[in-house]
Structure 1
Amino acid sequence: MLRHEEKDIILFVGKMEMAHVEDVARFSKEYGKKYLPALITSLGAKVEESLEQRLAFLVRCDTQDMKAVEKRLRPYADRIAAIISRYEFSMPLYGRLADLFPYLRLPTARSLAVASNKINMRRAFRRYDKKITPRFVVVKRYGETAVKKIIEKIGFPCVIKPANLAKSQLVTVCYYKEELKNNLKVTMQKVRKLYHHAKVEWEPTVLVENFMEGQMYSIDAYVNSRGYMEYTPIIEIKTGKDAGYDDFFMYTQITPSILNPKEEEKARTTVAKATHAIGLRSSTVHAELMRTQQGWKVIEVGARVGGFRDRLLNTAFGFHHTGNDFRIHLGKKPTIKRKPLKHVGFIKFFPKKPGHLMALQGIKKVEGMKSVIKVTQNKKVGDFSGLSRYGHPYVLGVTVAAHSRSKMLGELRKVEKLIEIKTG
């Protein structure tokens, strides 16, 4: 059996992209030891040939058959140094692998099951500290009885959300009874299809909770095998609803925030409570929070790196979040820098109404802006473009950076005014 320092494979679970391969290569260079990426995924999963050629190995199998999983991984098991999941849908397999590799630094299968299910997560929060989580009810089927229960126990405004979907899919805010009835009916009609599309293994379930009014923030953190936590700088978030969309998604993400140090410490304490309530260890933690008049509340916590987080933190502070994710799984201390180098903002564009893209204007002008460091286009004219809550990807994402907050906000505003999306 190889010693831990001789192991050289970082195994990704469920899905990976070329960017993850580059993350491993960069980390190897920084760390001074060559690590090789590998992937285990389901039989029907698509893997680009160019990606497969960069992998130490690719295992395709029935990922719910652990005898098959163990058999396929056995030739490489002695070389696996770390196992990483970057996506919510692959958390059940990640948990099964945690049981299969008990001596690697991994979250427990139980903690991953709790972190992947918003209902179990809420229950864990309430047991640990009721103050950090809103009231909620579980809905298994649509009907007048369910609506009456929601109104009596939760009231308005309230939020409908599936228990196991990411990226704000089917998340809707309701302010009155007719809106609740309509949104709940649509959610129950669509939830099974979206679970299947997202490859979620859990049985479709929906919860309805108090709508938390306030300012949204996000923090990624690292928790070691003993529960000790270190935190990355906080991210300030503006939602699509804040920006006038009839949709719920992260419209802008900005760092550094203007939150005062005392409030940021309160936010970190809330993240620690949520992490320990779930029992996560040896993991990166992605936490979404709401600062309300009643204090800090947890929206959700995931055992993974937050979306776009590496780009935001590296540009703003000069450290690689994904490299720290590898470090925490290898039992090494993460490297975190806190002195801002730049002010960074990321903005996502969805259509105001679903339909085929008739026009997508302003991209060339945006790409020509000196402050713009990255433009990601997921849709082109002629493609169907839908709302975030129904599982559709954003049309366009733009990252800007400047040496002052005011300049960065001005550049974000220019991008907002330049981009125009028309659907029909």
Structure 2
Amino acid sequence: MSTINKTTRSWHAGKDLVLFVERMPEGAEKIIKAHGRTHGRHLKVAVIYDSRSSLSKAYVVKHKDLFDELIPCDFSDHKFITKALQPYLDRLLAITCRSEANMMKFRQIIPHVPYLRTPTMDSLSWSTNKLAMRRRFAAWDKSITPAYTIVRDGGKESIKKIKKKIGFPLVVKPTGLAQSILVSLCFHEEELEAALRRTFRTVNRIYRERDSKEEATILVEQFIEGDMYSVDAYVDTRGRITFCPMVWIKTGRAIGFDDFFGYQQMTPTRLTKESVTAAEKVATASIRALGLRSTTAHIEMIRDDNSWKIVEVGARPGGFRVELYKLSYGIDHILNDVLIRIPEKVSVSRRVKGTTAAMKFFAKKEGKLVKIKGLKKAEKLKSFYEVTVNKVPGDTCKFAKNGGTSVFNIILFNKERSELLADIRRLEQMIDIQTVKKTGA
């Protein structure tokens, strides 16, 4: 029997709808429908979104033509979720959530789609809260995670506790915020006190804006000096793991920022096969510790003296992975993320087509954006692939550690690694993000 026939038979009659929680990656509808046509099926895409959120409604209005079904939902009560999903239950083939910010909505939906392959509610909770994640890692294997403690205020007793349990240098990070938002490196007590004040103040403001009843809790962990890497993996319903290629990460700290944002991500890496095997072994332990299944997992790691430590794990694809894996290896990360949830076999090529770099540019000084100089010249580089501008003149620029986001992101690709590295150097020399201190700041 052919693969196509096996796949077609595995799809139950009438199951034609792939459901996205809040957001869908660009081009996903074309990829999914093309896959359906390959197997003689007319697949469709839908989005379930928060009917109370102005941002969610604005997204749907802007992208409504991409979806076959729009499902507004009030997430404030389970009965509303039931009502929103009920007309579609017999059609749902798979459900996916690709953003950390929307993972709790995905968690709320899971009890209402009992016949779909999904991660467990607990595993999503563990993978979105840094403290719960650390506790799971420690319970599974203490060697895979740095030493840590938690504090709920920046008082003298908290400082004393941190110095005794962790020591300097150390990293301060909120337990419930994604990416590198509000992550601070501290080498001495004065830096620690300032970081705790800033972090608690900002986290409490963010929680108020989100109408969250969660108590602000700060994770403080041992700082490990080493190279950062990450990898995405597909975990099937039985826990079998298929790893994608590794990605090297240069943080903002490496280029002079007092910050931990992922400045540059590049693949392929220069890691040996033995190092990759060791990294995948530790990554596997982290996935097992969180009990992840039927999902794409994003694992961030630090390599120090040939040993690997887990920074964090997300039950979602990593940032820029669609472009990094597509350009360098021809891997369709969007499709694979859906296939692992149907479930179907994913396809992961190891054949290198070239080197890809994804870069985030932040202003060197916080303030009001005046001008982005050099961006037009950047688009003429031989390695240029695409750019996404996130801020315009007049917008506020903040560092990631203070809750800010990048001014723009850029993707570069070249078949020759040396030519890509040369273009990265040219790009860094031509870009000048100009800001002015805000009045009253």
- Is the Cα contact below 8 Å between 1:164 and 1:200 reproduced in 2? no
The structure 2 residue matched to 1:411, chosen from 402, 419, 423, is: 423
| 5+ residue gaps, structure 1 | none
1:6 maps to what in 2?
Answer: 14
CA offsets 1:235-287 (integer angstroms, 9 cap, x no match): 00000011111221000000000000000011111110000000000110000
2:45 maps to what in 1?
Answer: 37
Q: What is the alpha-carbon root mean square deviation over aligned residues?
A: 1.8
C-alpha displacement at 1:392, in angstroms? 2.3
1:248 maps to what in 2?
Answer: 260
Q: Secondary structure at the match of 1:393?
A: coil
C-alpha displacement at 1:356, in angstroms? 1.0
- Is the Cα contact below 8 Å between 1:64 and 1:93 reproduced in 2? no
- Matched residues in 1 for 2:425 and 2:34: separation? 33
Pairing 1:274–2:293 present: no
- Is the Cα contact below 8 Å between 1:89 and 1:201 reproduced in 2? no
Q: Secondary structure at the match of 1:164?
A: coil
- Is the Cα contact below 8 Å between 1:99 and 1:108 reproduced in 2? no
- Matched residues in 1 for 2:356 and 2:132: separation? 34
- Is the Cα contact below 8 Å between 2:153 and 2:196 reproduced in 1? no
Which stretch of the first structure deviates more once superposed, 175-184 or 193-202?
A: 193-202
Q: Secondary structure at the match of 1:376?
A: strand
Calculate the TM-score normalised by the size of structure 1: 0.95
- Matched residues in 1 for 2:78 and 2:117: separation? 20
Give the residue type in structure 1 aligned to 2:231. I
Which stretch of the first structure deviates more once superposed, 237-246 or 23-32?
A: 23-32
Pairing 1:289–2:301 present: yes
Kindly report which structure 2 residues correspond to 1:131-210, keeping only aligned pairs within 5 A, or say none.
131-197=143-209, 202-210=214-222
Kindly report which structure 2 residues correspond to 1:254-269, keeping only aligned pairs within 5 A, or say none.
254-269=266-281
Pairing 1:340–2:358 present: no
1:422 maps to what in 2?
Answer: 434
2:388 maps to what in 1?
Answer: 376
Q: Runs of at least 4 residues of structure 1 off by over 6 A? A: 198-201
1:82 maps to what in 2?
Answer: 94
- Is the Cα contact below 8 Å between 1:164 and 1:202 reproduced in 2? no
Give the residue type in structure 2 aligned to 1:35. L
- Matched residues in 1 for 2:43 and 2:96: separation? 13
Give the residue type in structure 1 aligned to 2:329. F
Q: Secondary structure at the match of 1:78?
A: coil
- Matched residues in 1 for 2:60 and 2:237: separation? 35
Which stretch of the first structure deviates more once superposed, 116-125 or 82-91?
A: 82-91
- Matched residues in 1 for 2:85 and 2:38: separation? 28
The structure 2 residue matched to 1:310, chosen from 318, 322, 325, is: 322
| 5+ residue gaps, structure 2 | 1-9, 437-441
C-alpha displacement at 1:26, in angstroms? 4.8
Count of residue correspondences: 423
Provide the identity percentage. Answer: 38
CA offsets 1:121-143 (integer angstroms, 9 cap, x no match): 10110111111001111111221
C-alpha displacement at 1:91, in angstroms? 1.6
C-alpha displacement at 1:38, in angstroms? 1.2
- Matched residues in 2 for 1:217 and 1:415: separation? 23
C-alpha displacement at 1:293, in angstroms? 2.3
Give the residue type in structure 1 aligned to 2:242. E
- Matched residues in 2 for 1:342 and 1:155: separation? 42
Distance 1:144 1:374, change over 3 A: same
Which stretch of the first structure deviates more once superposed, 354-363 or 308-317?
A: 354-363
Give the residue type in structure 1 aligned to 2:46. A
C-alpha displacement at 1:201, in angstroms? 7.2
C-alpha displacement at 1:41, in angstroms? 1.9
Calculate the TM-score normalised by the size of structure 2: 0.92
Which stretch of the first structure deviates more once superposed, 376-385 or 235-244?
A: 376-385
- Is the Cα contact below 8 Å between 1:347 and 1:412 reproduced in 2? no
CA offsets 1:4-27 (integer angstroms, 9 cap, x no match): 353111111133454444443454
